[in-house]
């Protein structure tokens, strides 16, 4: 019942938000003036408000000759033998063999806490700690798990340099949307997806950067290589620690290619509040009138409870630091996420009490 209430709250919030897309067509010419449309240009990128052609042209696709100045397709996909297409029917459920099939209660009226058995034909689909299926085929360089390379066989251009060149850090006020549009999307994302990472390797904990912030000479295979260029004076580090996602090979399941494992169910089921396993769920419930644990602040306002040991869950140095407890620890990532989750807690408390009355 609480989860039905959660969905009703999200529906009401979305209806109250001015998210009408009916003006998209009329706004389209305006988008062109902000660099949304790129004119054809011989062997380069047009300089617009958000793309700087001179810097980009120095390295983008530098090892891939473009013979046709107006290629009809992406060069790397011109060869149909190497093109990426949709999965075959027999490939969709390939990862099902990696996980035990749960015993389902066909007469259960409610969803399970971990998403198992929501689909009675494929009971592991959407379940936490299982692998999601793909829509299109993977494009690994070795056909198994290694990051792809350019069509020439070389490493791809530095992703950090591309990001900093093409996507400039410019503040731009939206006349139509406010911050809550982003935050509403993020809470839905957290409810339906949680990427697990490789924490241990054959030689102990995964360490993608040196202690001084530099890139190790030999990068562990459990890491991705993201270097910070020396022309970024605002950063004292030269390495971003990016452990790779946990996949089916880490579970001892040898399927090709690997499938990534996710820690959230694929359903909008209020897991940001209730959690994705029974242990977490029990720790945040009061088991009275369907309410969740909370703490009262000034004027009797409801707030999420604090965890007992903040250093174990949040990136803080003292255990008495504010670190909120909920079904998903990512509520502590940034203030807006915490505010929205706290608001949902208040709404659910109100609705739970109204059902009791």
- Is residue 200 a contact partner of residue 206, using CB atoms and an 8 Å limit? yes
Per-residue tokens: 314: 């949040």
If residue 337 lies in a helix (H) or strand (E), which one and from where to where?
A: helix 335-356
- Which residues sit opposite 243 in a β-bridge? 223
Query: 10 Å Cβ neighbour count for 72?
Result: 6
CB contact set of 208 (below 8 Å; sequence gap of 6+): 216, 219, 220, 222, 223, 224, 239, 240, 241, 242, 243
Answer for the pair 160, 227: CB distance below 8 angstroms, yes or no: yes
Pairing of strands 261-262, 302-303: unpaired
Of 334, 305, 308, 335, whose CA–CA distance to 319 is shortest? 308
Catalytic one among 154, 190, 203, 230? 190
Q: Is 190 a catalytic residue?
A: yes
Alpha-carbon distance of 328 to 305, in angstroms, equals 13
3-state DSSP percent of the chain in helix, strand and coil, to 5: 30, 10, 60
- Catalytic residues, which ones? 190
């Amino acid at each position: 019942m609480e989860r039905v209430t959660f969905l009703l709250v999200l529906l009401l919030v979305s209806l109250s938000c001015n998210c009408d897309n009916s003006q998209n067509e009329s706004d389209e010419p305006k988008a062109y003036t902000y660099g949304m449309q790129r004119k054809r240009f011989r062997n380069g990128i047009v300089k617009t408000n958000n793309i700087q052609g001179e810097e980009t042209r120095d390295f983008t696709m530098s090892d891939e000759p473009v013979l046709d100045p107006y290629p009809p397709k992406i060069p790397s996909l011109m060869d149909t033998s190497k093109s990426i297409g949709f999965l075959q029917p027999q490939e969709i459920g390939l990862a099902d063999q990696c996980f035990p099939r749960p015993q389902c209660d066909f007469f259960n009226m409610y969803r399970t806490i971990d998403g198992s058995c929501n689909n009675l034909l494929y009971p592991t689909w959407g379940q936490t700690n299982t692998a999601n299926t793909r829509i299109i085929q993977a494009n690994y360089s070795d056909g198994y798990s290694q990051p792809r390379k350019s069509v020439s066989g070389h490493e791809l251009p530095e992703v950090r340099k591309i990001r900093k060149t093409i996507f400039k850090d410019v503040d731009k006020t939206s006349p139509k949307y406010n911050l809550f549009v982003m935050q509403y999307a993020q809470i839905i994302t957290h409810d339906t997806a949680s990427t697990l990472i490789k924490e241990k390797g054959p030689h102990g904990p995964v360490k993608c950067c040196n202690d001084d912030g530099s890139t190790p000479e030999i990068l562990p295979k459990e890491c991705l290589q993201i270097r910070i260029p020396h022309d970024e004076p605002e950063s004292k580090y030269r390495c971003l620690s990016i452990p790779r996602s946990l996949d089916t090979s880490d579970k001892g399941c040898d399927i090709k290619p690997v499938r990534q494992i996710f820690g959230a169910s694929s359903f909008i089921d209020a897991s940001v509040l209730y959690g994705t396993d029974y242990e977490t769920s029990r720790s945040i419930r009061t088991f009275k009138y369907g309410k969740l644990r909370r703490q009262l602040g000034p004027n009797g306002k409801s707030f999420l409870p604090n965890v007992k040991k903040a250093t174990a869950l949040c990136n803080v140095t003292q255990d008495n630091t504010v670190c909120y407890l909920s079904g998903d620890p990512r509520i502590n990532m940034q203030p807006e996420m915490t505010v929205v989750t706290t608001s949902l807690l208040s709404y659910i408390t109100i609705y739970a009490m109204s059902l009791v009355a």
